[in-house]
Structure formats: structure tokens, C-alpha cells
Amino acid sequence: MADALGLGPSGKPWGFESPLSHNRGKGMKVDVAQVTDVERRMTVSLPQDSVDSEIENAYQDLKKKVKLKGFRPGKAPRSILERYFKAQVEEDVITKLIKSSYPSALEEQKIEPVSQPKIENGVLEKGKEFTYTAVFEIKPEIEISGYEGLELARTPADVSQEDVDGEVESLRKSQATLKDVEGRGIQKDDCVIVDLNGMVGDEPLPGGERKDYFMEVVDDAFLPGFSDQLIGLNKADKKEFTLSVPEDYTDKNVAGKTVSCSVEVKEIKLKVMPEADDEFAKDLGEYTGLDDLKNKLKETLQEKKTKQSEADLREQIFAVLTEKNPFEVPKSFVENQIKNMMMDTQQMLAAQGVKMEDLGQTVEKLHDQYKDPAEKQVRSAMILEAVAKKEGLQAEDKDFDTLYEQFAKQYQQDVSTIKAKVTTDMLKPQVLEKKALDFIIEKAKVTEE
């Protein structure tokens, strides 16, 4: 019913006005009951004269428009109209009454919903009041405390030469070419093309039947222990074996279960990696040589480790403040965050040409997996918002300019282009969250691990 009302995120109709809206409270009775800290049940009763007037107007409009056999336009008796169109008229009148009174009732009670209302209709009857209820969520009032003087441990964001060398090695692997192998069996780090099939008991393993499957023979490829079973097999060899999947494995479809596998080796390929020299670096992009590549990698690693260190601090902060400041999170906020996370995941997989079904995943499973992290993210954002409000933190022009420059660099566009697409109102929550986080860290006792 809420969708039929065309209600916006505030719970008020988009651009809708009516006589009742301009005469709010006149004869209308509103009662609000608290269901939970964030859920309200609002009962609205509309007076008899308003109901009768809307019913009369509806039939007058219908009389002008409807064409009935045996009657000239506009001459059909009311009794005939009621016989054929009563249900439709009642539905239209109910929708109109709710549309016109719901915003007024919210305004009268000084309530701002954060979710679409669930409308429960009463009975529409001429000569009687019409009553309906609307159930919706509101934002909780958070009396934030305990955010000053936190004891935090920061992980240094140091980058070692070993870290840089590891990145160079990863780049060499990514640029490797494949060479057909003849005369020997599969070795670790080879690449192979196989046909495979997996079963869990009598049921097929989700995504476990694959033809011409390309994989690298490394630890935990496909399933834990699967690669070990391939070592020594030659081209055209077939093998059947079972795997005991650990209880803590990420795919809950097979965690703690025994998987029966059959495999046929079709091709074996050796990875040939390029030498780490100046020519290798130049082939990767705009690098003058190997030293330049390593310097750029070090800068990237430094930035990555700094962000990770900051993320660790945030986790510590939210763990403490969540315990000190319990409150109920609106389910609608969590659902919106889940939708955003699922959309990001689906777009990422689509960009890689991978379907969720290939990973044994479904929309329902993904929704359930994201529920806890989504609630955690929403709760954290609400905590920071409460801190910013209590401390009177404000978003300034320079804060927005910094974000615009970051976005311009990230998306390789002009700042003016970014500003045309992203308003300061859209950025304000992000700015205030960062300011609140910086404030908490500034007031904290931070030790270096």
C-alpha cells in the first residue's frame, strides 16, 4: 500500500497537496503508540464529513466519465454506479484520504519517519469515521558518551624492502606466459586445464561441474586440498578422490563436509615469468626503470598500509563505543545498506564476467551474509553522527574541496565535472563522520604497537 501512495523517503507523498493538507488537524484525530525504540504505530481517524465528501466527489467524477449501456453520459443512477464500481471507488477514496491526511498527521505529531509506512486500512463506510494505521520507523535519539580518552593501539604503516620485492614478484607472475608441458606430471604452481565434477553426498556440489576449467595449482585452489591431489598427474590422466572440508571454510555449503571429486587432466602448462629488470618495468607502464617501479610500489604500499592502520583504529573505536552506547538500529537503514553492498558485489562480479551461480551463491544467501556487516556499518555511522552533533562539528568549504580533489584523482575527471554530479549535501555526512573520527582519535591515548 505504501508504494501505491507514492511516498518519498521521509514518508511524505512526493509533491502531493490537498484541502485536508491545508487544514491539518481539523476534525482529524491522531494517536501514536511506541512499538519499539525506533518503531511507531500511528492511528489516524478522519471525520465523517470528510469521508462522505470524498465518497460523493468520487461518484460525481465517475458519473461524468463512465459509459454504461442504456444510459447517456453523466446520467447513470448512483445505485447502478455503486453496483458496478463500489470496490474501485472505495479503493480510490481510501488512497486519497490517506495521501491527504498522512503528511498532516506526521506534521501534527512532529514525527519524521525514516522508512516507508506499512498501511493497515480500516473499513470505509458512508456516515462513519474512517480509521487507518501506519507503522514506520524513526531515527533513535542517541545520548552518546564515553568517546573521549579511549585507549587505542596503532599499527605502524612501515613498508619494508621485503614488501616491495613481494609486489614485484606478484607483477612478474601476472605477466607470465604459459608454455605447454610434455613428458612430466603436474607440479606445484603449474597451470592446468581440467574437467571436474564434485558431489556432496548424493547432491551435486554447487558450481562443482566444470568443463575446460583453467586453474593454477596453488594451495586452496577450488577447494582445500584439491591441488595436492593433482600433483604428479599426467595429461589425459583421470582420478577420483574425496576431500574433508574444514569446519571454518568460507563456503558454508561445504564447510565441515566430505566432497567426492573426479578430475580429468586435459592440459598442463608452465608459467614462464619475465626477469625483473628495467625492460620489464618499462613494459608495465610509465616507469623509467626497475628502481622507479619499486619507488612507486613503495608509495602505493605506504598508502595502503596507512589506510589499513586507520581502519584498525576505527574497528577499536567502534567496538568500544558500541558496547558503551547500545541502541536499536532501524531495520530500514540496514536493508538499504545491504542493497548497496549487494549491488556493489554484483557489479564487481559482472565486470569480471562471473555469475553468482558460478560461486554457489544466490541473492538470498548474499543478503543473509551481509546482514551483520551492514548493521555494523550503519551503527558505526550513527555513532559518528551523534558525536559530530554533540561536539557541534561543522562541514567547511575546505573539507568539501579536499573530497572533490580526491574524487577527481580517483575517477580521473576534472573537479568541475565531479561537482556537477556530487553536491555538498551528498558529501556532508561523509565529512562529518571523518571529523568525528578525527576528534575521537585526537582525544584518545594512542600507543604504537
**Domains of the chain, CATH where assigned:** 2-137 (3.30.70.1050), 177-272 (3.10.50.40), 288-448 (1.10.3120.10)
Q: What's the pLDDT score for residue 381? A: 96
Radius of gyration of the chain (CA): 32
What is the rounded end-to-end Cα distance, in angstroms, of the chain? 56
Separation of alpha carbons 268 and 193, rounded Å:
7
Contacts of 214 (CB under 8 A, 6+ apart): 191, 192, 193
| Residue 437 or residue 12, greater confidence | 437
- What are the phi and psi torsion angles at 279 (to 5°)? -65, -40
Q: What's the pLDDT score for residue 26? A: 58
Q: What's the pLDDT score for residue 10? A: 37
290 and 280 in contact (C-beta within 8 Å)? yes
SS3 148: coil
Separation of alpha carbons 210 and 125, rounded Å:
63
Q: What's the pLDDT score for residue 72? A: 72
Separation of alpha carbons 323 and 44, rounded Å:
38
Q: What's the pLDDT score for residue 78? A: 84
pLDDT, one tens digit per residue, over 345-388 is: 999 998 888 888 877 788 999 999 999 999 999 999 999 999 99
Closest CA to 97 of 41, 25, 20: 20
CA 200 → CA 38, 210, 213, 264, 369, distances in Å?
44, 15, 20, 19, 22
DSSP run (H or E) holding 334: helix 331-351
Q: Tabulate helix, strand, coil % of the chain (nearest 5).
A: 50, 20, 35
